[in-house]
Structure 1
Amino acid sequence: PSKTAVWSAHLIMEVLQEAGLPDGVINLVYADGREAAEVVFNHREFAGLHFTGSTAVFNGMWGTIASKIGHYKSYPRIVGETGGKDYILADETANPKQVATAITRGAFEYQGQKCSAASRAYIPTNLWEEVKQYVSDDLATIRTGVVEDFSNFVNAVIDEESFDKLAAVIDAAKASPDAEIVCGGSYDKSEGYFIQPTVILAKKPDYITMREELFGPILTVYLYEPGKLEETMEILDTTTNYALTGAIFSADRSRIERMTTRLMHTAGNFYINDKPTAAVVDQQPFGGGRGSGTNDKAGSVFNLLRWVSPQCIKETFVPATNYLYPNFLEA
């Protein structure tokens, strides 16, 4: 596991063992990622990789495996669930309160530290003032603190490295002529690594926080004029190479159908009038394509089939004793 997830991995293994999982079915190995990869990827019996992590690391692993393909006994199965730049798109008929709630829950739950978290939003100008006010009202009441207190909606980010990266993003937005902090914008690591839920208003659709994964409680909004939905969907589709989750909001069924069709390849998990998070394992298959992974849908039969190797068996109960087929005998 990651060095920042050692304890949780240990607890999960304890739960599985206590539930009766036989030894050896799952092996938990504490090791540096690079050192482990050096051993695993150089072994002739290496058969598969199921990876959850950054796109850059997965790309590196894929390249390493490809360079050693002739060394392996079989072609390794490779599954990746990597990054995301997940979106919310509202049209001018959407309900502002519903959009705001999706932003608050989708972007700031778990401090935005999940690959499905909303990280960018495209809002029509006719809705923006209401949406902004609702989000601001939400953030004014959000409780922040330790994870042991379940009434806290926002907790600390996972480590100092993440904190420093997110703080730098906020500072850059404050200093940029192309961005404006409209909610939040503060941070504090005097006791824990706390980033205040932050909303950035981008003046350009390709502002850096509209393109790059942040993995924290920061959402960037780009405003578009009503009537320019098609152009906005084109921007959404081409701004980033990720395609993990996305959500649309509209009260117009024909527009919902159009948006669903146009944005087909922008999200492996697509939500209509709901936040782009909280796929339930074993109920809602999860995964994305493009730069977000191989879209093998964790928690579903689609993923399971990736790891099986079918064998077809034929048994003949009356074996042939003459090599000639019947048509030859007739001749």
Structure 2
Amino acid sequence: MVKPYQHEPFTDFSNLENQKAYEEGLKTVDAYLGKDYDLVIGGERVSTEDKLVSVNPANHSQVVGRVSKATREHAEQAMTVALDAFESWRTTDPVSRADILFRASAIIRRRKHEFSALLTREAGKPWNEADADTAEAIDFLEYYARQMIRLKDGMPVESRPGESNRFGYIPLGVGIVISPWNFAFAIMAGTTVAALVSGNTVLLKPASTTAVVAAKFVEVMEEAGLPKGVLNYVPGSGSEIGDYLVDHPKTRFVSFTGSRDVGVRIYERAAKVHPGQKWLKRVIAEMGGKDTIVVDNEGDVELAAQSIVASAFGFSGQKCSACSRAVVVEDVYDQVLERVIELTKDLTVGNTEDREKFMGPVIDQAAYDKIMSYVEIGKTEGKLVAGGVGDDSTGWFVQPTVFADMEPDARLMQEEIFGPVVAFSKAKDYDHALEIANNTEYGLTGAVITNNREKIDQAKRDFQVGNLYFNRGCTGAIVGYQPFGGFNMSGTDSKAGGPDYLLLHMQARTTSEML
């Protein structure tokens, strides 16, 4: 009997034993730094001369790994293998497919601190952020396995005398999973196993900057008993293989997490029907956000400040759910802003191998340059009150940055920066605050700090986001507890870690038999 789902607990790093365990994880990872990783196509390792070089963003002279780079020929080979594997995988007992996920989660749980330490090295994640990333990966495997067992027999429909009707789900086919670097383990694993447990085969193209953790995950799935060809590891450039696979007539669906611009491009390309294609491709897309914490004059000022700082600067603001806009009712604006500045100036920034560092680097030079360019834009649009300083000499570090007195239509209030920058805007009243919160093309997360029940109910009606939180920050959704995903330009409203997510990877079929 399958135990009820409970999310993986976070590690208490105030415990000395847990600190030592994480340090051992770092030693384990350091022992294989610089290793080469091959493509995996049909269970076979394929090495290429052209490599993606993954470096530690906190120390960009340190090579984490060199990953073989797939060409279009490799992508075509992987597609052929995946199509062949689909014929047997689609008929595999859903419980057996779920059991592979359970075994994989057990393997990851035993190696939890190693995987988290790898995220510290490859993505620059602080200990607690890396630990949460690994815990979420475990959660996705456990949750989706249980969901598949629930869905395997379909849903009840009515029958009539002399007639038996069934309504069930069948897998789609070969899916392309294009995963991001910011939740390099959790989202990469979650989007992959959701497709696999539903009976599809997958070509996994992870983010180039964090391809090593994806290679390690593929090894885990092999160890857990996943048949050859069901999951194929094909890292490479978007222009070289990404477009090719999105356009491919045998691609049945694309699962993408990343920027708005790339997501829109994928959506557009996937809509075109190519010769030999006999379906409309499905696109599952999560594309970012411009997320707001609204602070009402009937809210807790200290809670508001703490929530803004944690949501804006956790993992250096490199979350699609990060608070990049604080909209505060004018009665408490100065109080909240002043307290946020105080808290921000107390934050520590540096190499996250040190447990005491709250914030680490941003992911790479391109991200650093983009963020620093937005800092310069912010200086022309509002008042810089904290941070605004960067240093890319040894790692890509940007100090947590706060801008005050922004107009709602300022670029810092409208464009996704994906870094440790939060902009403050003053609202005349609560209605005005919600109006500002909604004046963006995105619709991912938001939060409201208020003790007024009527205002909470008003936000539930009028705040247009997929995940809305009250009296807490706007980041930190837990699998199975707060299904995550947004609408508008934040994506296709695909709720990861929710009860209907697997259905996006299947198609419904009705059978009717006369008795």
Give the drift of 1:71.
4.7
Give the drift of 1:247.
0.4
CA distance in 2, matches of 1:205, 1:42: 39
* Unaligned stretches of 5+ residues in structure 1: 318-331
Give a deviation string over 1:208-244, Cα, whole Å, max 9, x none: 100000000000000123xx22133223212x10000
Structure 2 equivalent of residue 258 of structure 1:
458
CA distance in 1, matches of 2:456, 2:503: 32
Taking a change above 3 Å as real, the CA distance of residues 160 and 70 of structure 1, as seen in their structure-2 partners, is: same
Q: Are residue 194 (structure 1) and residue 392 (structure 2) matched?
A: no
* Unaligned stretches of 5+ residues in structure 2: 1-205
Structure 2 equivalent of residue 18 of structure 1:
223
Residue 281 of structure 1 is aligned with which of 459, 473, 479? 479
Taking a change above 3 Å as real, the CA distance of residues 203 and 147 of structure 1, as seen in their structure-2 partners, is: closer
Taking a change above 3 Å as real, the CA distance of residues 203 and 42 of structure 1, as seen in their structure-2 partners, is: closer
Structure 1 equivalent of residue 430 of structure 2:
229
Residue 208 of structure 1 is aligned with which of 401, 411, 418? 411
CA distance in 2, matches of 1:41, 1:132: 45
Give the drift of 1:81.
0.3
CA distance in 2, matches of 1:163, 1:68: 38
Structure 2 equivalent of residue 292 of structure 1:
490
TM-score by structure 2 length? 0.58
Q: Is the 8 A contact 1:121 1:222 kept in 2?
A: yes
Give a deviation string over 1:47-103, Cα, whole Å, max 9, x none: 001110111111111211223267522121111000200110011111110000111
- Corresponding pairs, count: 310
Q: Are residue 101 (structure 1) and residue 306 (structure 2) matched?
A: yes
- Residue type at the aligned position of 1:139: T
Q: Are residue 245 (structure 1) and residue 450 (structure 2) matched?
A: no
Give a deviation string over 1:288-322, Cα, whole Å, max 9, x none: 000000011012231211111222222333xxxxx
Which segment is superposed worse, 277-286 or 186-195? 277-286
Structure 1 equivalent of residue 503 of structure 2:
305
Q: Are residue 181 (structure 1) and residue 379 (structure 2) matched?
A: no
- Residue type at the aligned position of 2:333: W
CA distance in 2, matches of 1:133, 1:66: 49
Structure 2 equivalent of residue 327 of structure 1:
none
CA distance in 2, matches of 1:46, 1:213: 30
Q: Is the 8 A contact 2:312 2:322 kept in 1?
A: yes
Q: Which has the higher strand share?
A: 2
Taking a change above 3 Å as real, the CA distance of residues 121 and 70 of structure 1, as seen in their structure-2 partners, is: farther
Q: Is the 8 A contact 2:406 2:423 kept in 1?
A: no
CA distance in 2, matches of 1:316, 1:203: 68
CA distance in 2, matches of 1:315, 1:203: 65
**What's the Cα RMSD here?**
1.7
Which segment is superposed worse, 156-165 or 11-20? 11-20
Give the drift of 1:171.
2.0
Query: What is the identity percentage for the equivalent residue pairs of Structure 1 and Structure 2?
Result: 35
Give a deviation string over 1:92-133, Cα, whole Å, max 9, x none: 111110000111110000000011111101012222232223
Give the drift of 1:41.
3.3
Q: Are residue 27 (structure 1) and residue 232 (structure 2) matched?
A: yes
CA distance in 1, matches of 2:233, 2:385: 44
Which segment is superposed worse, 119-128 or 18-27? 18-27
Secondary structure class of the residue paired with 1:40:
helix
Taking a change above 3 Å as real, the CA distance of residues 148 and 15 of structure 1, as seen in their structure-2 partners, is: farther
TM-score by structure 1 length? 0.89
Q: Is the 8 A contact 2:271 2:281 kept in 1?
A: no
Give the drift of 1:10.
1.8
Q: Is the 8 A contact 1:69 1:75 kept in 2?
A: no
Secondary structure class of the residue paired with 2:494:
coil
Q: Is the 8 A contact 1:125 1:223 kept in 2?
A: yes
